[in-house]
């Protein structure tokens, strides 16, 4: 696996083995009920558990991006985050080298979160819903996760259409990454956006061809945990999709993923442990789609 360097708050960190991003949803309507929380104390307790289980990043969101979710105002989003982020930040004092990412597409929220203890921005819209978020990332010199989404959370699953889903999304990143670089945002991570404006078949095509995104030369983050591409395919519920999630996590690691965004940290850590034993020298080369 390539060794990517990420700078955060003046310190260089090496992604020489996959990292885990644990999910904290400060929302009442996230698609997986097990990820929801209601109080700063609960957030702190769950954060400590995830960090002890192997998480390096805690991803905190106050806006449910599940398909068809009701819009949330900036005021509502910030009210859900403003006490949780400091509570989680306090826990991180006992875990050097671990970070908070704020899951938002709004520049205003990202700026407030970074000023309150967050370290990374996780933007599901890749700057398309609020281009000012690039200026926030540049001003804070923070890692920026750029995700691909077709449409917005209210419309993204109505009729997702691509000429070729993998090539189209590589094109999206190929246009965006130089813009970010020119603005001084160098610590970028790409996320193809499983479930965000993709059909079931398109999701699995992206996973099969995930190694093609290594051409971008940036770390890959994969978020498939308990998503509908798993539970619909298996005809189970999100609560019953942990086994399927683990299977796809291994597929993602074999495809070159450096960061897994997960609900179940301990199980993801076991998957990475076995992946490292299976591929002790990393993924040196996997056939590109055009080589098959």
Please confirm, yes or no, whether 226 is among the known catalytic residues: no
* Bridge-based pairing state of the strands 144-147 and 188-191: parallel
Output the six-digit token pair for 207: 């996973």
DSSP string, 196-252: SS--HHHHHHHHHTGGGGGGG-S-EEE--TT-HHHHHHHT--GGG-HHHHHHHHHHH
Distance CA 252, CA 240 (A): 20
DSSP string, 62-122: SS--STTPPP--HHHHHHHHTTHHHHHHHHHTTSTT-EEEEE-S-HHHHHHHHHTT--EEE
Residues 64, 279: contact at Cβ < 8 Å?
no
Residues 136, 109: contact at Cβ < 8 Å?
no
Select which of 82, 227, 277, 292 is catalytic: 227
* Bridge-based pairing state of the strands 11-15 and 4-8: antiparallel
From the centroid of its chain, how far is CA 291? 29
Q: How many CB atoms lie within 10 A of CB 235?
A: 7
Select which of 232, 261, 277, 292 is catalytic: 261
162: closest CA among 154, 152, 151?
Answer: 151
Alpha-carbon dihedral sign for residues 111, 142, 212, 287: negative
Residues 100, 88: contact at Cβ < 8 Å?
yes
Q: In whole angstroms, how far apart are CA 15 and each of 145, 161, 253?
A: 15, 34, 13
Please confirm, yes or no, whether 232 is among the known catalytic residues: no
Q: Which residues are catalytic?
A: 227, 261
């Amino acid at each position: 696996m390539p060794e990517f360097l990420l700078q955060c708050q003046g310190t260089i960190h090496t992604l020489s083995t996959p990292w885990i991003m644990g999910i904290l949803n400060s929302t009442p309507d996230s698609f997986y009920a097990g990820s929801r929380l209601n109080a700063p104390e609960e957030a702190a307790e769950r954060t400590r558990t995830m960090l002890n289980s192997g998480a390096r990043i805690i991803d905190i969101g106050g806006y449910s991006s599940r398909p068809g979710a009701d819009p949330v105002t900036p005021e509502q989003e910030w009210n859900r985050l403003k006490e949780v982020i400091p509570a989680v930040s306090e826990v991180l004092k006992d875990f050097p080298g671990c970070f908070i990412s704020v899951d938002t597409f709004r520049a205003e929220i990202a700026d407030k979160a970074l000023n309150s203890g967050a370290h990374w921005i996780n933007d599901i819209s890749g700057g398309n819903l609020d281009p000012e978020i690039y200026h926030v990332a540049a001003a804070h010199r923070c890692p920026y996760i750029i995700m691909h989404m077709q449409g917005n959370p209210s419309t993204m699953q109505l009729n997702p259409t691509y000429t070729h889903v993998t090539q189209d999304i590589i094109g999206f990143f190929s246009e965006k990454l130089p813009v970010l670089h020119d603005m001084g945002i160098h610590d970028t991570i790409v996320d193809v956006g499983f479930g965000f404006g993709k059909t079931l078949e398109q999701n699995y095509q992206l996973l099969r061809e995930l190694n093609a995104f290594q051409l971008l030369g940036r770390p890959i983050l994969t978020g498939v945990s308990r998503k509908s591409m798993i539970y619909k395919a298996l005809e189970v519920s999100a609560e019953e999709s942990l086994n399927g999630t683990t299977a796809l996590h291994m597929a993602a690691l074999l495809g070159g993923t450096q960061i897994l965004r997960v609900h179940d940290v301990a199980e993801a850590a076991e998957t990475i442990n076995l992946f490292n034993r299976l591929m002790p020298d990393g993924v040196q080369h996997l056939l590109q789609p055009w080589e098959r």
